[in-house]
């Protein structure tokens, strides 16, 4: 699933291509909003809130969430459009295609952020507040750390990659209770640092080593040696999300 940094980069790409441009064509391929036509309006801004993306144009706001497989692509006017495309926004120069979007809706621009009011502080947003995030994280001390980190009401932007990496650097198993975290403020601050460092990177890095094959601590490395102690990394895919951990370094 795309995480907060992916959505941030997507917004930057759409911002460069669309903001200040007149829409010459708009095709929303979602039955509920199929009659919406925003052509003839100028795109004013592209904003994000956690993993949610908003394109504000005219009186409306196009709200999307990538979920597992979604993406936005900026293409030429002659690029092929297939059955996966949920929305086409076109200017005189480009097409922006929303593909396999998990959520796509047209909202009243004045109240578009109402749909994300439940989210915690945005790790890449102006509202980031580590005190609020750490308070949210520890609100349910018996909750598994991974479950809490993935809850967007705690802080917005962490997905499964960052969740596993944060559990590793904290020294705890994903299933360990939140109460085991000695310094919650430090952990949420590390989450912010990780996403901030990767907000413009195509190849995500959480280890500080950007060389190929060395960018992550445990995620996707089942059976490979832990970068700290050499113990084979374990994997559990029995739950809703796949978990990776080092049985020696994480308690």
The 3-state DSSP class for residue 88 equals strand
What would you measure as the largest C-alpha separation in the chain, in angstroms? 60
> In terms of C-beta distances under 8 Å and separation of at least 24 residues, what long-range contacts does 99-103 make, across chains too?
99/70, 99/71, 99/72, 99/73, 100/69, 100/70, 100/71, 101/64, 101/65, 101/66, 101/67, 101/70, 102/65, 102/66, 102/67, 102/68, 102/69, 102/70, 103/52, 103/63, 103/64, 103/65, 103/67
Q: Which residue has the tokens 């998990």?
A: 102
CA angle 108, 45, 111 (to 5 degrees): 20
Kindly name the residue from 49, 51, 95, 192 that is annotated as catalytic: 51
Please confirm, yes or no, whether 67 is among the known catalytic residues: no
Kindly name the residue from 15, 29, 227, 241 that is annotated as catalytic: 241
Please confirm, yes or no, whether 251 is among the known catalytic residues: no
Please confirm, yes or no, whether 2 is among the known catalytic residues: yes
Please confirm, yes or no, whether 105 is among the known catalytic residues: no
d(CA 233, CA 231): 6
In degrees and rounded to multiples of 5, residue 59 shows phi and psi of: -85, 0
Residues for the chain: how many in total? 251
Q: Which residues does the annotation mark as catalytic?
A: 2-3, 51, 241
């Amino acid at each position: 699933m795309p995480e907060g940094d992916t959505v941030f980069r997507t917004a930057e790409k759409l911002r460069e291509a669309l903001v200040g441009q007149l829409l010459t064509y708009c095709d929303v391929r979602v039955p509920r909003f199929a009659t919406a036509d925003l052509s003839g309006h100028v795109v004013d801004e592209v904003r994000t809130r956690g993993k949610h993306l908003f394109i504000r144009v005219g009186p409306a706001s196009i709200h999307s969430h990538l979920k597992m497989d979604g993406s936005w692509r900026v293409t030429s006017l002659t690029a092929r459009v297939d059955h996966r495309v949920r929305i086409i926004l076109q200017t005189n120069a480009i097409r922006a295609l929303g593909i396999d979007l998990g959520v796509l809706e047209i909202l009243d621009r004045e109240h578009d952020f109402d749909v994300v009011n439940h989210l915690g502080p945005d790790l890449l947003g102006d509202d980031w507040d580590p005190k609020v995030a750490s308070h949210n994280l520890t609100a349910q001390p018996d909750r598994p750390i991974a479950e809490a980190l993935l809850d967007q009401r705690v802080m917005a932007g962490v997905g499964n990659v960052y969740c596993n990496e944060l559990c590793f650097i904290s020294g705890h198993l994903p299933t360990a209770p939140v109460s085991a975290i000695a310094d919650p403020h430090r952990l949420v601050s590390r989450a912010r640092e990780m996403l901030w460092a990767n907000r413009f990177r195509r190849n995500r890095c959480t280890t500080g080593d950007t060389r190929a094959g060395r960018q992550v601590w445990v995620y996707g490395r089942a059976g490979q040696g832990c970068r700290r102690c050499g113990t084979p990394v374990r994997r559990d895919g029995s739950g809703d999300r796949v978990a990776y951990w080092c049985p020696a370094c994480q308690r």
